[in-house]
Amino acid sequence: MTKLEVINLTVEVDGKRILNNVNLTVESGEVVAIMGPNGSGKTTLFLTIAGHPRYRVVGGDIRLDGESIINLYPEERVQRGVLLAMQNPTPVPEVRLSTLITAMMNKKLGRHITDPPTPQVLTELTKLTAELGLKPEHLSRGVHAGFSGGESKRAEVLQLLMFKPKVALLDEPDSGLDVDGIAVIGRSIARLAKEGAAVLLTTHHAEILHYVRPTRVIVMHRGSVVHNGGEEVVRTIESMGYERFFREVLGIS
């Protein structure tokens, strides 16, 4: 069992307060969907959990299985099983996607980072690449180098599915995906949770949630969690829009 706890988390970027007293918990097998308007703090929350050095925790804690991780380097958090699929991944043209995934898997398996992939890793990589609608050619290209928006999303999820993290953070895994892509990625995320990962994902659309079936939906507003409930809130937000939802349902302006 894995449990990630975000406790009264307050975060600053370059001296500017972005998150205020955020609380949430996600356990093995659960999918928690985080919604909220542009700029409400979703990506900041994920980058802080992943350990991005620019995001300074000025209050509260992040605990993995009861142990604080806020003083760990990003690499150490990955080693503990916390992995982020980014909203806007940065291209690394000089490193092939297959090299990156092999290195990640070698590190996880306690092998030397530059060792060739194990036969199991190679088989799994070939299978998942095809399943996610990517071509073998993408594996031999630089990471996200010249990838289309949807291909980049698929490549981020490929890394996650290969690594099988304890805690999977997916920041808008559905943005820029075509309808088939949303179904494939949605089903893959559901499988990840079924296999025991604790999954946090952000989205602006209900569609991916048809496949993922979140355990809870959390809504953020100006760096705070303002609602924590079931899937029904997604339909309310879709029909009302955020401004009306905040004003008329939650009574905040």
Ligand X SMILES: Nc1ncnc2c1ncn2[C@@H]1O[C@H](COP(=O)(O)OP(=O)(O)OP(=O)(O)O)[C@@H](O)[C@H]1O
Residues binding ligand X (CB under 6 A): 13-14, 16, 18, 36, 38-44, 54, 87
* Selected range binding Mg ion among 34-42, 93-101, 121-129, 237-245, rule: CB under 5 A: 34-42
CA-nearest of 132, 201, 207, 215 to 168 is 201
CB 171 within 8 A of CB 42: yes
The C-alpha atoms of residue 227 and residue 219 are separated, in whole angstroms, by 5
Could you say which of 40, 43, 106, 188 contacts Mg ion (CB under 5 A)?
A: 43
Q: 3-state DSSP call for residue 130?
A: helix
The C-alpha atoms of residue 119 and residue 159 are separated, in whole angstroms, by 17
Within positions 51 to 110, which residues make up the interface with Mg ion, using CB under 5 A?
Answer: 87
CA-nearest of 228, 230, 226, 235 to 207 is 235
Which one of Mg ion, ligand X, none interacts with residue 38, CB within 5 to 8 A by kind?
A: ligand X
CA-nearest of 117, 112, 113 to 103 is 113
Tokens 């304890």 sit on residue: 166
* Token pair belonging to 210: 């048809």
Angle separating helix axes 97-108 and 119-131, nearest 10 degrees: 130
In the complex, least distance from residue 52 CB atom to ligand X, rounded to whole angstroms:
9
In the complex, least distance from residue 44 CB atom to ligand X, rounded to whole angstroms:
3
Closer CB to ligand X, residue 40 or residue 98?
Answer: 40
Which one of ligand X, Mg ion, none interacts with residue 2, CB within 5 to 8 A by kind?
A: none
In the complex, least distance from residue 32 CB atom to Mg ion, rounded to whole angstroms:
16
Which one of Mg ion, ligand X, none interacts with residue 41, CB within 5 to 8 A by kind?
A: ligand X
Closer CB to Mg ion, residue 103 or residue 226?
Answer: 226
Which one of Mg ion, ligand X, none interacts with residue 14, CB within 5 to 8 A by kind?
A: ligand X
Closer CB to ligand X, residue 44 or residue 102?
Answer: 44
CA-nearest of 167, 171, 209, 204 to 187 is 209
Quick one: residue 216, left, alpha or beta (phi over 0 = left, psi -120 to 50 = alpha)? beta
Q: Does 188 bind Mg ion (CB under 5 A)?
A: no
Which one of ligand X, Mg ion, none interacts with residue 13, CB within 5 to 8 A by kind?
A: ligand X
In the complex, least distance from residue 246 CB atom to ligand X, rounded to whole angstroms:
14
Residue numbers of the site for Mg ion (CB under 5 A)?
42-43, 87
